[in-house]
Amino acid sequence: MSNTATITEVSEKAIPQTDEPINLISKIHVIPRFSDKYAERKWAKEHMAGAFRVLSKFGWNDGAGGHISLRDPVQPDCFWINPYSKHFGLITVSDLILVTEDGAPITPTKYKVNTAGFMIHSALHKARPDVNAAVHTHSPYGRAWSTFGRPIEMLNQDCCYFYNDLSVYEGFGGVVIAKEEGEHIASCLGPTNKSIILQNHGILTAGGTVDEAVALFIALEQACQSQLLVEAAAANGIPKRLVGDEEAKYTKEGAGKPEVLFMQFVPEYEMILKETNGDFLK
C-alpha cells in the first residue's frame, strides 16, 4: 500500500471541521483605534516618519521642498510637520515639529518650518476637520502631468481611486508664501475631495491618517505616469478604452475607502521598517 496521501485527503485533514461559516476576508481592512491620545500620537508620528523614508526610497525627496503634515491627536488645532531642508531619508520621529495654526513651534527644535508647506497645510487643516494628514512633494510624473491642468482619466482600476474625488487647481500663483494662496488651494480641494492636481506645480493628497494620504499620493503619482504613457501611445493613433462611469463608481466605493487605502500603505511601512532597522523611530 502506498504511503502517499492524495491532495484531497491532505486538504480534508488540514481543514478544521466546523459548522461555523469561514470568512477569510472578514475585517481585512482595519485602521487602529486608540483610547489613549498620547499613544495615538506616538503611533501616528512613527508612521509619519516612516512615510518620509518611503517617499525618499521612491526618489521623491525634493531638495529643501516637500512636506507631510499630521493633525495632532492630543491638540487637534495644531499639527506636526517636517523640518525645512532635511532630506526625507534622514528624518526621524524626534525631528518632527509641532506647530500652532499660526505657525509657532510648540516643541523645542533647531530647525525651521517650510513657509510654503505651512501655508498649504495650515489652510487645509483649518478648512477640513476630516483631514488629519496631507502630503505634497514635487514627484516627477505628478509635476509633469500638472502642466496640462487636467484631471486624470479612468484608465485602469487604480485610477478609479480618484473617481469624483480629484480637484484641479488652475490658479498657479508661484511659490505658496501667502496665506491667501494656501486658502485658495484648500477651497479648490473642496469639502470632500482628498486629492488635487496643482497646475504647473505637482500633486497633493490628504486623508484621515498619514497612511491613507501617502497611499493616495503613491497612487496618484502612478496614475499621472500612466496618463503620460497612454497619451504618448494615443498620439500614435492607438485608441483609449476608458473605464465606464458605473464601473469606476463601483470600484471607487470598494477600493477607495479609507480602510482599504490605509492597508495599501501597510506593506510599504513594514518594508521600510525592516530595511532601516527602525532607524526613523528615534
DSSP class per residue in 100-111: -TTS-B-S--SS
* Confidence (pLDDT) at 181: 84
Which of 7-11, 112-116, 193-197 has the highest average model confidence (pLDDT)?
Answer: 193-197
* Confidence (pLDDT) at 16: 52
Q: The C-alpha cell of 21 is what?
A: 461559516
Tell me which residue of 74, 224, 208, 192 sits closest to 131, measured CA to CA: 208
* 8-state DSSP, 90: G
* Confidence (pLDDT) at 177: 59
Least confident of 16-30, 53-67, 142-156, 214-228: 16-30
Q: What does the alpha-carbon distance between residue 151 and residue 139 come to, in Å, rounded to a whole number?
A: 16
pLDDT digit string, tens, across residues 32-85: 999 999 999 999 999 999 999 999 999 999 888 899 999 999 999 999 999 999
pTM of structure:
0.89
Q: The C-alpha cell of 18 is what?
A: 466546523
Q: What does the alpha-carbon distance between residue 269 and residue 49 come to, in Å, rounded to a whole number?
A: 10
Residue 241 burial (C-beta neighbours within 10 Å; 0-12, 13-18, 19+): exposed
Q: What is the largest CA-CA distance in the chain?
A: 84
Q: What does the alpha-carbon distance between residue 85 and residue 64 come to, in Å, rounded to a whole number?
A: 4
Q: Give yes or no for a contact between 125 and 131, defined as CB atoms under 8 angstroms apart.
A: yes
How long a stretch of residues is the chain?
A: 282
Output 6 or 136, whichever has higher pLDDT.
136
* Confidence (pLDDT) at 157: 96
* Confidence (pLDDT) at 182: 87
* pLDDT score of 18 more than 60: no
* pLDDT score of 171 more than 70: yes
Tell me which residue of 236, 241, 261 sits closest to 251, measured CA to CA: 261
> Binning pLDDT at 50, 70 and 90, where does residue 174 land?
low
* Confidence (pLDDT) at 32: 94
* Confidence (pLDDT) at 23: 58
Q: How far is CA 125 from CA 83, 198, 215, in A?
A: 18, 18, 19
* pLDDT score of 2 more than 90: no
* Mean pLDDT value across residues 180-199: 94
b/e 52-80 (16+ beta carbons within 10 angstroms → b): bbbbbbbebbbeebbbbbbbbbeeeebbb
Q: Give yes or no for a contact between 118 and 81, defined as CB atoms under 8 angstroms apart.
A: yes
b/e 188-201 (16+ beta carbons within 10 angstroms → b): bbeeebbbbbbbeb
Q: Is 186 helix (H, G, I), strand (E, B) or coil?
A: helix
Q: What does the alpha-carbon distance between residue 139 and residue 62 come to, in Å, rounded to a whole number?
A: 8
Least confident of 83-97, 106-120, 192-206: 106-120
What is the number of other CB atoms lying within 10 angstroms of the CB of residue 210?
30
* pLDDT score of 13 more than 70: no
* pLDDT score of 26 more than 50: yes
* Confidence (pLDDT) at 6: 44
